[in-house]
């Protein structure tokens, strides 16, 4: 595990696969402390063991393979997959310190992803009524490269974003990702032969300040 020191925001990078239930438990404990001003805000970067999670809008019929391991969770959104090769970023921020506006927060997360993709010369876009960040493919249609699923408790955010670095994209065939029938999925590796989490993490850290403000200024120290 790597701890990154910030002025007011702690960054943690887990270098082993993290069990989903453990992550939820850790987030629940941390957001209570953030709400009570007894601990720092936290950005937690990790990879999960393979798991399919259902948000509050998930439909049972969008789980195509009912033999896979699943969890119902309180985040927004529908079905998604987490697993090796995907960077999950859990964002625990006190929105009262910034802007207590859920729509603005979701827009900020999307902008953070789009700016980070630009560092890889990848043009990410928002699509109407299709959450997440998308890229155009060789057939001039769109594939999703990053997903969002957030929850706000007493104006403290948790859950967050996921970016496909080099996962097994076949896993997404077990579900209708985010309830969208006509969208594909892709990864940094598929687009630009990029599979380095460290490269992605550095760009995420650089762009976080641009989107969320000077409170996030920090020095990245990998152990």
User: Would you kindly state where each structural domain of the chain is located, as residue ranges?
Assistant: 2-210
Mean pLDDT, rounded, of the chain:
89
Closest CA to 49 of 63, 70, 31: 70
Residue 105 is predicted with a pLDDT of: 92
Tell me the pLDDT band of 222, cut-offs 50, 70 and 90: very low
Whether the per-residue pLDDT at 169 is higher than 50: the answer is: yes
pLDDT (average), residues 176-187: 79
Cβ neighbors of 52 (< 8 A, separation 6 or more) are 63, 68, 69, 70, 71, 79, 80, 81, 82, 174, 175
Residue 180 is predicted with a pLDDT of: 66
Residue 214 is predicted with a pLDDT of: 55
Tell me the pLDDT band of 32, cut-offs 50, 70 and 90: very high
pLDDT (average), residues 81-93: 97
Active site residue 86: no
Tell me the pLDDT band of 220, cut-offs 50, 70 and 90: very low
Residue 129 is predicted with a pLDDT of: 85
Whether the per-residue pLDDT at 209 is higher than 60: the answer is: yes
Tell me the pLDDT band of 219, cut-offs 50, 70 and 90: very low
Tell me the pLDDT band of 135, cut-offs 50, 70 and 90: very high
pLDDT (average), residues 155-178: 93
Q: What percent of the chain has pLDDT over 70?
A: 90
Task: Give me the DSSP letters along 72-90.
Answer: E-SSSSSEEEE-TTEEEEE
* Strand pairing report for 51-54 and 125-127: unpaired
Q: What percent of the chain has pLDDT over 90?
A: 73
Cβ-contact 83, 169 below 8 angstroms: no
pLDDT (average), residues 86-105: 93
- Residues 44-59 pLDDT 10s: 999 999 999 999 999 9
Catalytic residue among 34, 178, 188, 204: 178
Residue 144 is predicted with a pLDDT of: 95
pLDDT (average), residues 4-13: 74
Cβ-contact 116, 204 below 8 angstroms: yes
Tell me the pLDDT band of 31, cut-offs 50, 70 and 90: very high
Q: Is 2-210 a CATH 3.30.930.10 domain? A: yes
Rounded CA separation 17/105 (Å): 28
């Amino acid at each position: 595990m790597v701890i990154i020191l910030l002025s007011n925001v702690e960054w943690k990078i887990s270098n082993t696969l993290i069990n989903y239930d453990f992550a939820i438990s850790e987030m629940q404990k941390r957001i209570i402390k953030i709400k009570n001003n007894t601990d720092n805000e936290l950005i937690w970067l990790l990879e999960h063991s393979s798991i399919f999670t259902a948000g509050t809008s998930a439909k049972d019929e969008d789980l195509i393979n009912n033999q896979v391991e699943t969890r119902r969770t309180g985040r927004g959104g529908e079905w998604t997959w987490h697993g090796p090769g995907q960077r999950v970023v859990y964002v625990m921020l006190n929105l009262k310190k910034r802007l207590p506006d859920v729509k603005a927060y979701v827009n900020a997360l999307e902008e953070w992803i789009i700016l980070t993709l630009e560092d890889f010369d990848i043009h990410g876009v928002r699509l109407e009524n299709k959450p997440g960040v998308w890229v155009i493919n060789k057939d001039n249609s769109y594939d999703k490269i990053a997903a969002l699923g957030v929850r706000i408790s007493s104006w403290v955010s948790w859950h967050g974003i996921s970016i496909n670095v080099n996962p097994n994209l076949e896993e997404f065939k077990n579900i209708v990702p985010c309830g969208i029938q006509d969208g594909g999925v892709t990864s940094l590796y598929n687009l630009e032969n990029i599979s380095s989490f460290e490269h992605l993490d550095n760009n995420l850290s650089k762009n976080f300040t641009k989107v969320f403000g000077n409170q996030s200024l920090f020095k990245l120290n990998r152990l």
